[in-house]
């Protein structure tokens, strides 16, 4: 039998003496899915030695002890898997796919809400144990050991695409050059965002010492010709042109909007999403997995959490709430929705992969939610909350949840003494200006082609000039 330790063993640091990663099992004997998983782990343990590589700890999510609560507080958030691999400092190396997922009941809870029972079998759990071990060694700088395990996973070519994809990342040792994390990702929301990212990449090639140097290229149009002295002034000129365009679009299309309330909510959410992204301009990949504060998640884990909340947890609740009223046959469970959204396999490797995945999830959700009518905002539904809440509240939460994590990211970056370059801060301002244009044109992108075309032409011209200036 597996020699399960308890949360007291963890807080007595017994796992550190073992030299092994922790296999954390958030168990509830009230749930048949957890009991099935428990039995399956015992079967695996009887057949091979994979579990001997772990320090196994099991805690109860039903009437938990005080130490159980501490572990649950640190490892169960929204739709979190009940099996996780922990480093010696308590941070996570791996969250299992396919196993049951639970959401923490946050007000003096005595239980966690079971989101789904999982779709696990023995082969899938074994492959997740293997990739969890590989990721533990990968994140703890034991590349040779991690690669050995990853090679075996690839050779098996099992039915677990999650483990296979992450093993490929470990073997390829994909690393960013450290110059930029976020701006290397695939921002495919529109031609405008693609042009803007190119502009910012060229702007960031300019050294800070040159931002006040005389600008040798074209002046701005109209009165802007008096404010095109240097890169600094030009950066804010570009920002203002974005804002002016956003305002003009809003004035033109605003009266034609059918669901103004929902538009304002989604605009706030998208604006905060772009603000969250902009904070990562210039942040090197090497900072993503640092645990800067005890009991706090890493930057990467925060982003993965945001993707999961937006794409697979809160987003699903919103879609099912609307479908329950209009299209009951379209209601789906967590696992089905997760398969459509896609597993987050970019929780190791380059940040660009992570942000590319997030972009696809966010864009899909925006396109699904923009059809919600203002008359539907008062519809109520119950999830883990003791009482039903309105659809408006669930939509509002998408935006303020990102503000919560923006504050967390900024605190973590401060703790790591991250100091952005001046051109990084200029880039952040421009990127957030672009977000205003996206928000004002939401749902009217085709009707705003002329405004977009002139704006993109200006951005492309300035991008070319920034590139030339950076070479001087």
* Same-domain check for residues 158 and 211: no
* Same-domain check for residues 205 and 343: yes
* Same-domain check for residues 156 and 215: no
**Please, what is the average pLDDT of the chain?**
91
Compute the C-alpha angle 142/148/149, nearest 5°.
95
Per the structure, the count of domains in the chain is 2
* Same-domain check for residues 372 and 325: yes
Q: Is residue 177, in this structure, part of any structural domain at all?
A: no
Q: What is the mean pLDDT of residues 218-242?
A: 94
Confidence label for 41 from pLDDT (cuts 50, 70 and 90): very high
CB of 381 within 8 A of CB of 317? yes
Which alpha helices (H) appear in 157-226, and where do they start and end?
161-172, 191-203
Q: What is the mean pLDDT of residues 391-397?
A: 97
Q: Is the pLDDT of residue 315 over 50?
A: yes
Pairing of strands 55-60, 22-27: parallel
Confidence label for 176 from pLDDT (cuts 50, 70 and 90): very low
Q: Is residue 345, in this structure, part of any structural domain at all?
A: yes
Q: What are phi and psi of 272, to 5 degrees?
A: -70, -35
Q: Is the pLDDT of residue 194 over 80?
A: yes
* Same-domain check for residues 196 and 254: yes
Q: Is residue 2, in this structure, part of any structural domain at all?
A: no
Instruction: Return the beta strands (E) in 337-392 as ranges.
Output: 380-381, 389-390
C-alpha dist (Å) from residue 268 to 271, 403, 439, 441? 5, 10, 8, 13
Q: Is the pLDDT of residue 309 over 60?
A: yes
Q: What is the mean pLDDT of residues 342-346?
A: 67
Give me 233's structure tokens: 């002034």
* Same-domain check for residues 214 and 334: yes
* Same-domain check for residues 283 and 160: no
* Same-domain check for residues 288 and 431: yes
Q: Is residue 82, in this structure, part of any structural domain at all?
A: yes
Look at residue 189 in the predicted model and tell me its pLDDT.
67
Q: What is the mean pLDDT of residues 355-373?
A: 93
Q: Is the pLDDT of residue 61 over 60?
A: yes
User: CATH number for the domain including 361?
Assistant: 1.20.120.450
Confidence label for 181 from pLDDT (cuts 50, 70 and 90): low
Pairing of strands 101-104, 112-116: antiparallel
Q: What is the mean pLDDT of residues 135-141?
A: 92
Q: What is the mean pLDDT of residues 55-84?
A: 92
Q: Is residue 1, in this structure, part of any structural domain at all?
A: no
Percent of the chain with pLDDT over 70: 96
Q: Is 196 exposed, middle or buried (0-12, 13-18, 19+ CB in 10 A)?
A: buried
* Same-domain check for residues 312 and 435: yes
Q: Is the pLDDT of residue 110 over 80?
A: no
**Among the ranges given (12-16, 84-88, 103-107, 457-461), the one the predictor scored with the smallest mean pLDDT:** 103-107
Domain containing residue 237? 182-470
* Same-domain check for residues 203 and 303: yes
Q: Is the pLDDT of residue 3 over 60?
A: yes
User: CATH number for the domain including 129?
Assistant: 3.40.30
Question: 422 or 76: whose pLDDT is higher?
Answer: 422
Give me 12's structure tokens: 């007595």
Which of 115, 144, 172 finishes a domain?
172
CA 75 to CA 24: how far, in whole Å? 9
Q: What are phi and psi of 389, to 5 degrees?
A: -125, 160
Look at residue 290 in the predicted model and tell me its pLDDT.
87
Q: What is the mean pLDDT of residues 139-162?
A: 92
Q: Is residue 313, in this structure, part of any structural domain at all?
A: yes
Which of 172, 191, 220 finishes a domain?
172
* Same-domain check for residues 459 and 390: yes
* Same-domain check for residues 157 and 32: yes
Which of 116, 140, 172 finishes a domain?
172
Q: Is residue 293, in this structure, part of any structural domain at all?
A: yes
Q: Is the pLDDT of residue 416 over 60?
A: yes
Confidence label for 294 from pLDDT (cuts 50, 70 and 90): confident
pTM for the model: 0.90
Single out the residue of 314, 350, 320, 346 nearest to residue 332, CA to CA. 320
CA 79 to CA 28: how far, in whole Å? 15
Q: Is residue 119, in this structure, part of any structural domain at all?
A: yes
CB of 301 within 8 A of CB of 92? yes
Percent of the chain with pLDDT over 90: 71
Give residues with Cβ within 8 angstroms of 449, minimum separation 6. none
């Amino acid at each position: 039998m597996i020699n399960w330790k308890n949360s007291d063993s963890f807080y007595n640091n017994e796992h550190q003496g073992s030299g092994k990663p922790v296999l954390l099992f958030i168990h509830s004997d009230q749930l048949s899915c957890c009991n099935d998983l428990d039995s399956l782990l015992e079967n695996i343990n009887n057949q091979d030695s994979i579990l001997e590589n772990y320090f196994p700890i099991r805690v109860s999510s039903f009437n938990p002890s005080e130490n159980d609560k501490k572990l649950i507080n640190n490892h169960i958030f929204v739709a979190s898997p009940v099996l996780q691999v922990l480093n010696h400092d308590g941070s996570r190396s791996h969250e299992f796919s396919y196993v049951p997922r639970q959401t923490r009941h946050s007000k003096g809870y005595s239980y966690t809400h079971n989101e789904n029972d999982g779709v696990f079998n023995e082969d899938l759990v074994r492959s997740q144990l293997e990739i969890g071990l590989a990721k533990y060694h990968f994140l703890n700088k034991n590349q040779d050991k991690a690669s050995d395990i990853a090679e075996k996973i690839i050779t098996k070519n099992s039915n677990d695409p999650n483990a296979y994809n992450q093993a490929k990342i470990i073997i390829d040792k994909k690393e960013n050059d450290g110059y930029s994390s976020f701006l290397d990702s695939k921002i495919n929301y529109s031609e405008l965002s693609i042009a803007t990212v190119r502009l910012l990449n060229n702007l960031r090639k300019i050294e800070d010492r040159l931002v006040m140097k005389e600008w040798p290229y074209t002046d701005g149009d109209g009165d802007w010709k008096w404010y095109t002295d240097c890169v600094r002034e030009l950066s804010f000129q570009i920002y203002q042109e974005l804002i002016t365009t956003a305002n003009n679009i809003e004035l033109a299309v605003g009266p034609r909007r059918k669901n103004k309330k929902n538009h304002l909510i989604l605009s706030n959410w998208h604006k905060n999403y772009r603000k969250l992204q902009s904070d990562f301009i210039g942040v090197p990949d090497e900072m993503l997995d640092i645990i800067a504060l005890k009991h706090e998640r890493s930057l990467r884990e925060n982003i993965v959490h945001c993707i999961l909340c937006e794409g697979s947890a809160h987003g699903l609740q919103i879609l099912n709430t609307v479908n329950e009223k209009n299209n009951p046959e379209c209601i789906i469970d967590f696992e089905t929705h997760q398969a459509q959204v896609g597993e987050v396999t970019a929780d190791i490797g380059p940040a660009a992969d992570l942000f590319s995945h997030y972009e696809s999830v966010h864009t899909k959700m925006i396109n699904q939610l923009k059809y919600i009518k203002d008359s539907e905002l008062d519809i109520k539904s119950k999830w883990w909350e003791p009482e039903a809440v309105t659809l408006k509240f669930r939509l509002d939460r998408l935006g303020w949840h990102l503000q919560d994590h923006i504050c967390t990211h900024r605190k973590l970056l401060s703790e790591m003494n991250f100091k952005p370059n001046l051109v990084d801060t200029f880039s952040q301002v421009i990127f957030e200006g672009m977000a205003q244009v996206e928000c004002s044109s939401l749902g009217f992108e085709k009707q705003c082609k002329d405004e977009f075309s002139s704006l993109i032409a200006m951005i492309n011209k300035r991008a070319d000039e920034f590139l030339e200036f950076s070479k001087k």
